[in-house]
A and B are shown apart, each in its own frame.
Chain A
Amino acid sequence: MNVERFQYDDDIVRKFMWATLIWGLVGMLVGVIIALQLAFWQGNMGIPWLTFGRLRPLHTNAVIFAFAGNSIFAGMYYSTQRLLKTRLFSDALTRIHFWGWQLIIVSAAITLPLGYTTSKEYAELEWPIDIAITLVWVVMAVNFFGTIWKRRERHLYVAIWFYIASIVTVAVLHIVNSLELPVAFLKSYSLYAGVQDALVQWWYGHNAVAFFLTTPFLGMMYYFMPKVAEGPIYSYRLSIIHFWSLVFLYIWTGPHHLLFTALPDWAQTLGMLLSLMLIAPSWGGMINGLLTLRGGWHKLRDDPIIKFMVVAITFYGMSTFEGPMLAIKSLNMLTHYTDWIISHVHGGALGWNGFLTFGMAYWMIPRLYNTKLYSLKLANVHFWLGLLGILTYMISMYISGLTQGLMLLDFDAEGYLVYPTFIETVATIIPFYWLRLFGGVMYITGLIIMLFNLLKTVSGVKAPADMEAEAVPFKRTTLKGKFHYILEAKPILFTILTIIAVLIGSVIEIVPMLAIESNVPSISNVKPYTPLELEGRDLYIREGCNNCHSQMVRPLRAETERYGDYSKAGEFVYDHPFLWGSRRTGPDLHRIGGKYPNLWHLRHMEDPRAIVKESIMPSYAWLLTDTLDYGNIKAKVEAMTKLGVPYTEADISGAEAALKRQAAEIAADLSESGVQGMEDKEITALIAYLQRLGTDIKE
């Protein structure tokens, strides 16, 4: 028998594993900082790049793409080599992948706090970084599929299917959602507008959860859970059903982020129904993971790694039950825009992604260094601190979300809103923000203990040479058997079928939205933004206002009473990108235009507490002193024209003059109120934008 000897590339797995833990610490630390700022608004110390609006995208990007991303690559590279019985395709590509990905993370850590953002959630990075992500992803994909090509194991194990689905789908999602027109080195506008942009964004956003935070982790679950449990997966048959139904159904569910919005009802209903159906495959996966431990549950008593894994899968099950429930319109009406959603996502992120990563790290690192874990006791302490941290975090956010949601919908016997001002609801939930902070600190303390434990584990230990292995190469003979038996040995066909499975839902939802005009009824009154409003909109994006304020009045009585007429699809046709938001830490702003005088906005941005005593909004005093940079205004108006916004040639050539004219008008108004010298300040542009919001169809 011809046995070939080779070595696994374990050095790259070590690199990705340490990157996971270091970036995890950074990402979670930023999370703790912004959690503090919600409880204690002074937490940003008056520094623009430390404000919630700028740091929140950094937090989400760091935990998703840096922490979870590196964790995926570590787990994927470790398991793929062993499942395919081969070294990774190319050492050079592997290193380009590693360093390229770290460079992207560093770029994000620099640009996001500086306010360079597209505003689209989990896709905030600007176009040059988007291109870098695409290139690094392609490098990784070539390396991964190259490894499959040179494999010695003919059939692909289920973990590999999930990696394939993740790699191809994330590529599709990233490219389609990131289509944008650059106007400067770090500034671009989304190709899509308003409702269409919202649909594409949440098709991407929810499937970032699906194909970045779920499917690759399921792949790792299918590898590491049997390893840790020391037994085969419960039902390989179930894994087949799990895989195909999950990848087919998940892609449809994005519209459940847009229930009761201006998105056409058919798309909302489709999103809701498919989200409900998703319970079945998700729970199939959870059951398959948990039952892998059947007969070995006693190990939970002593083995912290199994504890981490089992709790991770349990959180996966809870999140994937809660998600579909939240996608039901009648519950979504209450929970959307509240902290309930924050609780839900952290159950998934901290419980599922975090704990699976920790379990994997505790399992892998001693093996990668050919040593033993320094302290099982510390690992147990980490487990309990982490678990209690998650529960504290989630329970406080459940109470907070439920409280605020109910208060916002409450009417008295006479039919008036019981809490007409938004701030009353915010003031009520502040204690829970402190509790959430406490939960977050517990969780990150656990991570620090883990880092100490693992550093002690490897201290004084020289990283061993790559592990030797041997395997018999498979002969390419004709396979006979059932369809899936053959399919598992045909990676190209498998990949094509996976792409088809994810494209069906994508095409059915997105193409009609882009192609059929009646989905976005036009409103003749709606006009493009003036140049100054456009600059103000860009400042709104730069400061991340959309992280706390929605621009979408839902057709619910409580909302129309509180904010004004509900938002219509036709009002957003010139919004590149859309700015509907997903969480209301502050009130909705879609009908804010004309509601207050210019001076109100100026004073409110300068010191929110001067206007609303209990406000937790940061002070944006620098907007009153910083000069507006309108050097790119002509390019911006031109770019908008290319995107279909009906500016005339005169609008483009006269953009700068028009901007100055409108700024002078606002400055004159402010001057009458006693505030001088605002014509060239950033605040003037922001006021122009805010005063325009929702006024096109206002009576």
Chain B
Amino acid sequence: MLKNVISQGNFAIWPSISLVIFTLTFLGILLWIYRKNAAKHYHDMANMILDDDCKQPETKNGR
């Protein structure tokens, strides 16, 4: 049945739907990751690495 649906369905709209889903997902991910280290947990984790022996805070690189 699954094979039928996939290969015999012959839905001309499938490629367009796939493209829309891909674009929306991609844009969603892009927006999400562009928020970088916003929110406390992400900020803490991203800065955790600088705790041990690095004395420079995040602003060092002009951010």
Note all chain B residues with C-beta closer than 8 A to A302. none
Note all chain A residues with C-beta closer than 8 A to B3. none
0 or 1 for each of B40-60: is its CB under 8 Å from A? (1 = yes): 011111111110111010101
By the criterion CB–CB under 8 Å, are A294 and B37 in contact? Answer: no
By the criterion CB–CB under 8 Å, are A296 and B45 in contact? Answer: no
Q: Is A678 an interface residue (CB 8 A)?
A: no
Known contacts A230-B60, A235-B36; A157 and B42 CB within 8 A of each other: no
Give residues 4-38 of B contacting A (CB, 8 Å). Answer: 29, 32-37
Q: How far is the CB of B9 from chain A (nearest CB, A)?
A: 19
In which size bucket is the chain A interface? 20 to 34
By beta carbon, the residue of chain B nearest A293 is: B61
Q: In the complex, A364 Cα to B29 Cα: how many Å? A: 35
Give residues 142-159 of A contacting B (CB, 8 Å). Answer: 153, 155, 157-158
Note all chain B residues with C-beta closer than 8 A to A296. 60-62
By the criterion CB–CB under 8 Å, are A236 and B60 in contact? Answer: no
0 or 1 for each of A280-311: is its CB under 8 Å from B? (1 = yes): 00001000000001111000000000000000
Q: In the complex, A284 Cα to B33 Cα: how many Å? A: 10
By the criterion CB–CB under 8 Å, are B35 and A226 in contact? Answer: no
Q: In the complex, A229 Cα to B49 Cα: how many Å? A: 11
Q: Is the interface of B mostly helix, strand, loop or mixed?
A: helix
Q: Which of A227, A293, A485 contacts B54 (CB 8 A)?
A: A227
Known contacts A234-B36, A237-B36; A83 and B41 CB within 8 A of each other: no
Note all chain B residues with C-beta closer than 8 A to A295. 61-63
Note all chain B residues with C-beta closer than 8 A to A158. 45
By the criterion CB–CB under 8 Å, are B60 and A157 in contact? Answer: no
Note all chain A residues with C-beta closer than 8 A to B35. 235, 237
By the criterion CB–CB under 8 Å, are A157 and B37 in contact? Answer: no
Q: In the complex, A237 Cα to B35 Cα: how many Å? A: 8
Note all chain A residues with C-beta closer than 8 A to B29. 241
Q: Is A95 an interface residue (CB 8 A)?
A: no
Q: In the complex, A230 Cα to B50 Cα: how many Å? A: 7
By the criterion CB–CB under 8 Å, are A233 and B46 in contact? Answer: yes
Q: How far is the CB of B26 from chain A (nearest CB, A)?
A: 8
By the criterion CB–CB under 8 Å, are B61 and A236 in contact? Answer: no
By the criterion CB–CB under 8 Å, are A230 and B61 in contact? Answer: yes
By the criterion CB–CB under 8 Å, are A238 and B33 in contact? Answer: yes
Note all chain A residues with C-beta closer than 8 A to B44. 155
Q: In the complex, A294 Cα to B60 Cα: how many Å? A: 10
Q: In the complex, A667 Cα to B16 Cα: how many Å? A: 68
0 or 1 for each of A210-249: is its CB under 8 Å from B? (1 = yes): 0000000000000100110111111111100100000000
Q: In the complex, A233 Cα to B50 Cα: how many Å? A: 10
By beta carbon, the residue of chain A nearest B31 is: A237
Note all chain B residues with C-beta closer than 8 A to A485. 41
By the criterion CB–CB under 8 Å, are A367 and B53 in contact? Answer: yes
Note all chain B residues with C-beta closer than 8 A to A157. 45, 48-49
Note all chain A residues with C-beta closer than 8 A to B45. 155, 157-158, 236, 488
By the criterion CB–CB under 8 Å, are B36 and A223 in contact? Answer: no
By the criterion CB–CB under 8 Å, are B33 and A235 in contact? Answer: yes
By the criterion CB–CB under 8 Å, are B61 and A229 in contact? Answer: yes
Q: How far is the CB of A80 from chain B (nearest CB, A)?
A: 12
